[in-house]
Amino acid sequence: MSTTAAPPHIEAFVHKVGSVAHSVPGGATGWQGSLLHIHIAPAASYEMEELTEARCVAGRGIEGDRYCLGTGTYSPKADTREVTLIEHEVLDALARNDPPLQDGPIHLAPIDHRRNLTVRGVPLNHLVGRRFRVGEVILRGGRLNFPCKYLEELLGLPLYLPLYNRSGLNCGIERGGIIRPGDPITLVE
């Protein structure tokens, strides 16, 4: 891992959205999901690499990833972006053109969406301000990830509108460790 200083991040519970949600009871409960894929890229616009395991470093990110190294597109913007997640169910919906927000189905592979973790059975929109476990790692939901024109331009796909309100979750790492595809994902509190 690089010995450079950690890129600036806003802690998940300090972010204006996460802090409000953290203090309000509720959110989805009674679910259990799983980690399907892990991806990192060493710098902005580099191809994503799929990993069979990854080390998550508290307060930094995934070892070798652009946001841990401070070389991501949005690294200069302080934000909760140590790990990003997206639901595989969203990829399934895009492939069905559900809802029909573009001319037809969009086939977006897990290696292409530029999020670190692809999960199944995890209600990410309900985890803003919540703590949850991925294997031995504990993440803090910071804010929902917004779709961006950058991803649309990079992939040449009309993704902005179809990903609106379902583009994933930016998280902080509260307790680091090793994660692997197949790890269970559960709510901590």
Say how far apart CA 154 and CA 77 lie, in whole Å.
20
Which DSSP string corresponds to 141-183? Answer: EEEEPPP-HHHHHHHTS--TTTTTT-S-EEEEEEE-EEE-TT-
Digitized pLDDT (tens) for each residue of the chain, 189 residues in all: 555 665 565 665 565 555 666 566 666 788 999 999 999 999 888 899 999 999 999 999 999 999 888 878 766 666 678 999 999 999 999 999 998 888 899 999 999 999 999 999 999 999 998 999 999 999 999 989 888 788 888 888 898 889 988 999 999 999 999 999 999 999 997
| b (16+ CB within 10 A) / e for 110-139 | bebbbbbbbbeebbbbbbbbbbbbbbebbb
Quote the tokens at residue 95. Answer: 């492939």
